[in-house]
Structure 1
Amino acid sequence: MIDWKLAGTVARGVANLQPAGDPTPFEQLAGPAEEAERLVSAYTGLVPVKSVPVAEAVDRAGWIEANLTGLAAVLEPAAVRIAGNAGPLGTLAGGVVAIEAGAVSGFLAGRVLGQYEFPVLEPDAPARLLFVAPNLAHAAKGLEAADEQLLRWVALHEMTHALQFGGVPWLRPHLKEMLTELLGALEFNPRSLFRVPDVTDLKNLVERVREDGLATMMIGGDRRESLDRVQAFMAVLEGYAEHVMDAAGAAILDDLPGLRSSLGKRRRDRSGLLKLLDRLLGMDLKLRQYEQGKSFCDGVVARAGIEGLNRVWIGPEAMPTVAELSDPLGWLARTEPFRLDPAA
């Protein structure tokens, strides 16, 4: 249904338009990865059920291949279902989706520093721990950071994700369940590609994109609650990793406040065109997830320590809602009965 070869061609073309750096200083990952696992595990108490994946340095093409492989597993079944009633327009729609998927992947391939990658609909499939070397090199130059310092800091973030999913057995099945529900709610009529929208349509479209990004437009309005659960879940995952990379990095990084300030500036300091793309692709939503999630995690730890924050790993029922992300004290009160028994 979706032409993934076309998607790959588009992605590589878009990625090649973005500046890169010399990947060589970021290709030796064993030391930073081992250090990160030790520090993150010591701070959080998270211990993987089995060994975490070996850290891999990849170029942008390698990241694109991994990303599109994951997208194919998620989107292809839904695309086949949606195209069932599309008739001859199904092929055209598949081409449109391929171009869109390729453009998004190519855009991200020029920005992603590291990623804990796994097939989200296959909870038992192997994961990978990827570091995009040319992007790390370009970021180090832009942030005016020492290569070794930036790599160690990013390694803490990605290793936190590896220990989250490797040490909390219910996380991957729960993510699969939530995404499967959302995929079942996809709404797309290929014939709408040829319909000229009226003023009301355009106004509603602009409002939805402004609020949630383009990615939410294909989810039915009655599934907003499902979408909120996924977004809150992702905010916790990212916020926890952002909190840990600072907490665990404080003892090993020469200028952690400077790194944090520079990274925040890098995330926000975009040209007008790139800011527009960020909004259309929902990347500003991703930034809000980092910020809101980190604020929640910092707030919980300030009141109840890392042990209090680790209640999020008890089970899906302990995950904060979107509203609770702005109310750490309320979440702590709600989850008090869920506290882990130290003797267990």
Structure 2
Amino acid sequence: MSGSRIDWGLAERVAGLTGGGLGETHALPVDLRAIAADAAERVVAYTGLQPRTPLPVAEAVGRPAWRAANYAAFDALLAPVLAKAGAGLGPLQGPALLGAGALLGAEAGAVTGLLGRRVLGQVDVHLTEPDAPLRLLLVVPNLHAAAKTLDVDPAQLVRWVTIHEMTHAVQFTGVPWLRPHLGALVDELVGGLTGAPGPDGRPVVPRLALPDVRAVAGQVRSGSVLALVAGPERKALLDRIQAVMSLIEGHAEHVMDAAGAPVLPDLADLRAALARRREAASGFSPWRLFERLLGLELKLRQYEDGKRFCDAVVAQADVATLHRAWDAPELLPSLAELVEPARWLGRVARAPA
């Protein structure tokens, strides 16, 4: 992240105060390599999705390592946006972006510090780098704390979470258009990125009509980088992003139960305990950092809608029909279809195989 205008050093100092990480144990009560290999086999068998690139090796990490992975991913996404936001500020551009970068770093640190105390696992996907390898991260101190707090078997919890995260890995390696499709949507969202060509044929970069450093900083502090470059007309685009992210999460929730059932005798207890934990966390998910930094408002209800959609489609049709959603971007369910799966089933039935 050399040369970034976002102060990630400050981010980690802030995150360290809120999220800790010193003296953590990274030991898990399982053979993680064997657990991950078994999870991959079960997910592929259930979904029918065939990875086209190698699946990531599961990594047992602490909170600082999880935070560092997210800093790298979000720097690639947000640094260009911040740079474009300063276009047109003239001599104020340098100090304005320096101040905004520090505030954005502090905001990111606060968010990652808090979320890093709760996230159990995450597949690290660089949307801006389609060829970047995935990483499958299991946050060991949080898994230990969750197993103790929820009074569930630690080994079963690790296996269950690994199935969930391996499902994401299979999604992004088995659906070749998924990462570029989602990346293109986000790319469009976070800037109009270069804008339409102007009269001289060169891209029109959105410019800020902000008079001083405090105005730029205030926009960042308000909680949405998009406030710097985007307007309210992006509602339809936000809906499309929310729909695909809800399906990605809901599908993983469905698969972790379906594929995990044969090897998780306490599955019902695990699911009930996780539901209680999420309610207490006001709808936490691994996407929450993305949502917070970009000003999205993905609600827990929408993730629940994603799982209910998958459960309903399998109940009303079958697993193969559900996985037609991954055949092409045009077959992804809309937000409305996630709530009413019958509408999506009708549309897919009319679509050519």
The reply to whether TM is greater than 0.5 is yes
2:20 maps to 16
- Relative distance call for 1:156 and 1:215 in structure 2 (3 A) is farther
Counterparts in 2 of 1:185-200, with a 5 A limit? 185=192, 194=214
Corresponding residue SS for 1:57: strand
CA contact 2:96–2:213 (8 Å) conserved in 1: no
2:184 maps to 177
Instruction: Give the CA deviation at 1:11.
Output: 1.8
Question: Given residue 121 of structure 1, which amino acid in structure 2 is its aligned partner?
Answer: T
How far apart are the structure 2 equivalents of 1:300 and 1:244? 13
Structure having the higher helix fraction is 1
Corresponding residue SS for 2:298: helix
2:249 maps to 238
Corresponding residue SS for 2:306: helix
Counterparts in 2 of 1:47-196, with a 5 A limit? 47-86=50-89, 87=92, 88-185=95-192, 194=214
How far apart are the structure 2 equivalents of 1:262 and 1:156? 17
How far apart are the structure 2 equivalents of 1:191 and 1:67? 32
What is the Cα-based RMSD across aligned positions, in Å?
A: 2.7
TM score, norm. by length of structure 2: 0.82
CA contact 1:53–1:127 (8 Å) conserved in 2: yes
Corresponding residue SS for 2:56: coil
In the alignment, structure 1 segments of 5+ residues that lack a partner are 196-208, 272-276
CA contact 2:47–2:319 (8 Å) conserved in 1: yes
How far apart are the structure 2 equivalents of 1:164 and 1:158? 10
- Relative distance call for 1:132 and 1:191 in structure 2 (3 A) is farther
How far apart are the structure 2 equivalents of 1:189 and 1:55? 47
How far apart are the structure 2 equivalents of 1:250 and 1:283? 33
Question: Given residue 82 of structure 1, which amino acid in structure 2 is its aligned partner?
Answer: A
Corresponding residue SS for 1:130: strand
How far apart are the structure 2 equivalents of 1:284 and 1:138? 28
Match of 1:287 among 277, 295, 300: 300
C-alpha deviations, 1:205-255, integer Å up to 9, x for none?
Answer: xxxx9xxx9687664210111111001000000000000001111111111
2:304 corresponds to 1:304 = no
1:40 maps to 43
In the alignment, structure 2 segments of 5+ residues that lack a partner are 194-205, 216-221, 283-287
How far apart are the structure 2 equivalents of 1:78 and 1:194? 18
How far apart are the structure 1 equivalents of 2:42 and 2:30? 21
Q: Which stretch has the larger CA shift, 83-92 or 283-292?
A: 283-292
CA contact 1:60–1:132 (8 Å) conserved in 2: yes
Q: Which stretch has the larger CA shift, 316-325 or 217-226?
A: 217-226
CA contact 2:191–2:226 (8 Å) conserved in 1: no
CA contact 1:58–1:132 (8 Å) conserved in 2: yes
How far apart are the structure 2 equivalents of 1:240 and 1:162? 12
1:248 maps to 259
CA contact 1:314–1:338 (8 Å) conserved in 2: no
CA contact 1:27–1:57 (8 Å) conserved in 2: no
C-alpha deviations, 1:10-41, integer Å up to 9, x for none?
Answer: 12222119x99754225741011011011111
How far apart are the structure 2 equivalents of 1:284 and 1:269? 18
2:8 corresponds to 1:4 = yes
Number of paired residues? 317
- Relative distance call for 1:129 and 1:253 in structure 2 (3 A) is same
Question: Given residue 299 of structure 1, which amino acid in structure 2 is its aligned partner?
Answer: A
